[in-house]
Amino acid sequence: MSKVRCKKFFLSVFLLAFIIISCDDKPPITEQKFMQVYVDLLIAQDTTTTLFNYDSLKSIILAKHKINEMQYESMINYFNEQPEKWTPFFDSATIYLERLKTASEEQP
C-alpha cells in the first residue's frame, strides 16, 4: 500500500470512528449535572447586578461544575432533539430550586 493510500485509509477509519462516536445518543454529561448548572445559571442571572456580564458568570459556573461550553451546548441540543424531555427536566429543576431555597432559609 502506498503512503498516500495508507494515509487516506487511516483518515477514513478515523473519520468513520468519529462519526460513530458523535452519533451516540448518550449525552455528554448527566442530566442531573446539567440541571444543577442550569439552576445555578438562573440564580446567578436573577441575583447579580450589572457588575458582571452573563458570559463571565456562565464561565465561572461551568468551571465550578467542571464542564465546558461545548458540553453545555451539547446538552441544550440533546434536549432540543428530544423536546419531550424538557418537561420532566423543568419539573426536576423546580424541585431542586425549591430545595435550595428551603436549605438557605433554614441556615441561621
The alpha-helical segments, DSSP class H, found in 23-108 are 31-47, 54-64, 69-81, 86-106
Task: Name the DSSP letter for residue 16.
Answer: H
Contacts of 41 (CB under 8 A, 6+ apart): 57, 58, 61
**Residue 7 falls inside a structural domain:** no
Residue where the block lists cell 444543577: 36
What are the pLDDT digits (tens) for 1-22?
566 565 555 555 554 444 444 5
Residue 95 lies in a domain: yes
State the pLDDT at residue 4. Answer: 58
Range of the domain at 86: 27-106
For residue 9, being part of any structural domain is answered with no
16 is written with which cell numbers? 468513520
Residue 35 belongs to a domain? yes
Under 8 Å between Cβ of 35 and 89: yes
d(CA 76, CA 86): 10
pTM here is 0.70
DSSP 8-class letter at 26: S
pLDDT, position 17: 46
Sign for the CA dihedral angle at 50, 56, 60, 62 comes to positive
**pLDDT digit string, tens, across residues 40-94:** 999 888 877 666 677 888 999 999 999 999 999 999 999 999 999 999 999 999 9
**Number of domains making up the chain:** 1
